[in-house]
Amino acid sequence: MDGILMNAITHLSARLIAVLAVALALAPVSCGIRVIDASSVLDDFRTEGFLDPDHFQVIVRGAPAPGARGLVARRESALIAAESKIPEAVADAVGTYRLECLLRRLEPADRPLVTNLEQVRAELWKEAAGYVRYGRRAFEYYNEDHSAVIVYRIYRGGLRASFESVGPKLALPEPHRATDTSPTKG
Share of the chain above pLDDT 70, in %: 72
Residue 111 lies in a domain: yes
List pLDDT tens digits, range 67-91. Answer: 999 999 999 999 999 999 999 999 9
What order do you get walking across the sheet with 55-62 strand by strand?
49-52, 55-62, 148-155, 135-142
Residue-range definition of the domain harbouring residue 88: 44-164
The reply to whether 153 falls in a domain is: yes
Is there a domain that residue 80 lies in?
A: yes
The strand pair at 55-62 and 135-142 is best described as unpaired
Is residue 86 one of the residues assigned to a domain? yes
Q: Is residue 174 part of a domain?
A: no
**CATH code of the domain in which 147 resides:** 3.10.129
Look at residue 27 and tell me if it is in a domain.
Answer: no
Strand partners, 148: 62, 142
Give the tens place of pLDDT for each residue, 106-163: 888 888 888 888 899 999 999 999 999 999 999 999 999 999 999 999 999 999 999 9
The whole-number pLDDT of residue 32 equals 42
Among 169, 158, 154, which Cα is nearest to 123's?
169
pLDDT of residue 186: 53
Q: How many domains does the chain have?
A: 1
Alpha-carbon separation of residue 82 from 60, 76, 150 (angstroms):
6, 10, 7
138 sits in which H/E element: strand 135-142
In a domain, 17, yes or no: no
